[in-house]
Amino acid sequence: MRATNWIRLTTYFAGAAAQGTSNTTCSSNATTLHLSDPPYENYFYSDCHAASHVVVTSPLLSSNLTIIGPRLLVAWPAGNSGIVTFFAPQNGENGTLGIQLDNSTNTGNALEPFYAPNGTGNPRVGVSGTINFNSSAILTVPILGSIRTIRDFTEGPSIIYPSIQDAISFSTTTDGGATLNRTWFDNVTTTYLSFTPLNGSDSVTINRDANTTLTFGAGTYQFNASFDYPQLEQLSPQEVLNNVSIDLIEQIPDQTTSLSFLSYTDKLLAGTWRFLTYFGRDSMISLLLLQPVLSEGEGGAIEAVIGAVLERINRTDGSACHEEVLGDYATWLNLQKNISSTAPQCDYKMIDTDYYLPIVVKNYFVDTEAGKNRTDTFFNTTASFLVDNSNLTYAQLAQVTAEKIMNTSAAFASHGGQTKDNLIHLKDGEVVGEWRDSTYGIGGGRIPYDVNTALVPAGLRAIAALSRAGFFPDHPDWNETADTYAQIWEDETLQFFEVSLSQDEAVSLAENYVNETSSFYTGLSNSEEIEGIVTFYGLALDGNNNQSIVRVMNTDDCFRHFLLNTTNQTQLSSFLNQTADHILRPFPVGLSSPVGLFVANPAFGGDPIYAKNFTNAEYHGTVVWSWQLAMMAAGLSHQLGRCKGNSVPDFCNDQTLYRRVLSAYNHLWTLINNNQEQLSGEVWSWMYNDGYQVEPLGAFTPTVSDIRQLWSLTFLAVHRENFKI
């Protein structure tokens, strides 16, 4: 992402609208952060009143103008709320309008706080800044209220909801400016956006034709973006990290500031700007990788993650919530059902999220002293986020999910039950269900590889350990039954996903793939790297075009490496060997590239549909995800670390294989170190022109990568180990 970072700590002070009021100042420092990722400039401001993320998009000469245009976006964690305004050049020449934020001549900051008392209600909070237009401009589309509404517009077919847009009020002000405001569906909260000309710039004019627009002259304008919704309580960098990790604040200020921006007392948020709310899977994967540096105890980050998941459990079937829906979007969804309510909702369509819960509970409440000391108090807490759970304790909700895992895994673990039908499938009517949750993320498959071969047995192992520690007293047999189930799932599931190709077939497929993908990849087939049978494990079963296995090489091996201590020695050695091959071999015969490991390689699919649906423009295609690099590194480190333990796996004594795995580990870290500038972002892509060049995913698709993603900050805790040959 080629991001350049600036961090500035400044003293809190009141915005102009609130100067002189006694409750407007804060007692500690504000935090500002600037992340440059052209054509996106990202500005963060956090103080005791609110946290804001402002994104200014100004197209480059090389930008695809069909998907990238000038816009100003403001995102707030509270209520997953925000504002976006799209601009166009008044002269109509696409690509000629450039916009930017100018730093304050008083403070040097691009953003200043906005705070205004609001009678007996919530104060108006937000940010103020100065936006500069290089030529006259028209504000074509404003959206005020919810990040989900903004996502529906930017990532879908430009969906506009009349009930939302028609509620925006436009008015001019005496100083030549204009104000937009919209009252939410709760009839209480209002979002405000105002523009005021500065330094002799033209007045803002309103065009009230069919679609109301604003017109600006070339020059600078002050903008104020604010809303009056209840705010979250942010964890400072000092509060989100444990005592032994405090030094990271000075060592890696960009990442620790970003982690703080996503961390609050009752939940951690998935990423910004697009996912600035609770996502269960994201927060628990992040916890698994970040736990060594996160704060423990009451009010700490670890309990914030686990408590948030438990609060949102579906009490009827034990499903863990994937994404919460709250604020204006929740009220709007309720109204679609003729329900007048602001109550939050949860998305339960994912099947993977459930299994992470017992793992993170076991890792903290069984494996750490801080967790053991907090167990009784924490699990006696009564849920309060969802009305349906308001009479249940965290202990009861944890058991409901554990019961679901035990019940759904029983059939496969039964005598003679090791059949495809007894594996875990996506929920009926859903095309997504695990982390590759885009339309073609698992190639239309119904039975995901990661869930069945890693998450189910890991969840079962955790349930067994929790039972032995005194959890789930209603099911004392789980201390043995869950382990028995886990052993069968560990040993018997890989076979269903295995793809094995002869050398000749693999070479032919790789070379054909290069011919099919000449529109975006013009490099070599690297087929000479194939020296024998090619083995990998497909993304899923029952894929598109009647494919029994989705034959896409992938990075999801990392789940087994990181989460399991498998004991089937022949299988473990073979599994490690094929993972090492994929890491060491260059794309398209492996996963390696100078820009990182691709999370998917469809070269061996044998069907043109794979090359079409797994490109460098697809969210889960031939692209790089930071957290998959982190989990693969942590997973291989875990497996290599077993060679120092009491029960040493066979591969440790096979010098050829051990060196191969160690070489893969070291090569992976070379790729990680060579892509430091991208690591804190969500996902990145590339172009090939006599070599690889990193490009933002947003250069190819309206689905813009988050500049900061929670699980992409895990290199705060994942480090290279010095394993010896």
Q: Say what the pLDDT of residue 107 is.
A: 85
Average confidence (pLDDT) over 105-116? 92
Q: How far apart are CA 136 and CA 104, in angstroms?
A: 22
User: pTM of the full predicted structure?
Assistant: 0.95
What are the pLDDT digits (tens) for 319-364? 999 999 999 999 999 999 999 999 999 999 999 999 999 999 999 9
Q: Say what the pLDDT of residue 15 is.
A: 36
Average confidence (pLDDT) over 582-601? 98
Q: Which two tokens stand for residue 376?
A: 């009784």
Q: Say what the pLDDT of residue 11 is.
A: 35
Place of tokens 């108090």: 377
* Residue 394 pLDDT greater than 90, yes or no: yes
User: Rounded to an integer, what is the distance from CA 473 to the centroid of its chain?
Assistant: 35
Instruction: Kindly give the residue spans of alpha helices, DSSP state H, lying in 380-476.
Output: 394-413, 449-450, 456-468
Burial of 435 (0-12, 13-18, 19+ CB in 10 A): buried
How far the first Cα of the chain sits from its last, in Å, is 35
Q: Which of 19-33, 232-246, 687-701 has the lowest mean pLDDT?
A: 19-33
One-letter amino acid at 275 equals: F
Q: Say what the pLDDT of residue 119 is.
A: 83
CB atoms near residue 405 (< 10 Å): 23
Q: Which two tokens stand for residue 197?
A: 């000309």
Q: How far apart are CA 303 and CA 427, in angstroms?
A: 29
What are the φ and ψ backbone dihedral angles of 225, each rounded to 5 degrees? -120, 125
pLDDT tier, 19 (very low <50, low <70, confident <90, very high otherwise): very low
Q: How far apart are CA 81 and CA 97, in angstroms?
A: 27
* Residue 1 pLDDT greater than 90, yes or no: no
Helix (H) or strand (E) holding 5, with range, is strand 4-11
What are the pLDDT digits (tens) for 262-271? 999 999 999 9
Average confidence (pLDDT) over 158-177? 94
Q: How far apart are CA 164 and CA 182, in angstroms?
A: 8
Q: Going by C-beta distance under 8 Å and a sequence separation of 6 or more, which residues neighbour residue 598?
A: 555, 587, 591, 622, 623, 624
Q: Say what the pLDDT of residue 216 is.
A: 98
* Residue 628 pLDDT greater than 90, yes or no: yes
* Residue 12 pLDDT greater than 90, yes or no: no
Average pLDDT of the chain, as a whole number: 94
Query: Sign of torsion, CA 567 573 575 576?
Result: positive
Q: How far apart are CA 101 and CA 44, in angstroms?
A: 13
What are the φ and ψ backbone dihedral angles of 3, each rounded to 5 degrees? -75, 135
Q: Say what the pLDDT of residue 118 is.
A: 84
pLDDT tier, 549 (very low <50, low <70, confident <90, very high otherwise): very high
* Residue 16 pLDDT greater than 60, yes or no: no
Q: Which of 105-119, 235-249, 402-416, 424-438 has the lowest mean pLDDT?
A: 105-119
Q: Say what the pLDDT of residue 9 is.
A: 44
Q: How far apart are CA 578 and CA 592, in angstroms?
A: 13
One-letter amino acid at 185 equals: F
Q: Say what the pLDDT of residue 124 is.
A: 96
Q: Which of 75, 54, 137, 540 is nearest to 277 (CA)?
A: 75
Q: Say what the pLDDT of residue 8 is.
A: 46
What are the pLDDT digits (tens) for 122-131? 999 999 999 9
Secondary structure string (H, E, C) spanning 421-435: HHCCCCCCCCCCCCC
Q: Say what the pLDDT of residue 155 is.
A: 87
Instruction: Kindly give the residue spans of alpha helices, DSSP state H, lying in 262-393.
Output: 280-290, 301-311, 327-336, 353-365, 369-379
What are the pLDDT digits (tens) for 411-447? 999 999 999 999 999 999 999 999 999 999 999 999 9
What are the pLDDT digits (tens) for 649-682? 999 999 999 999 999 999 999 999 999 999 999 9
Query: What radius of gyration do the chain's Cα atoms show?
Result: 26
pLDDT tier, 380 (very low <50, low <70, confident <90, very high otherwise): very high
Q: Which two tokens stand for residue 315?
A: 């009490």
* Residue 108 pLDDT greater than 90, yes or no: no
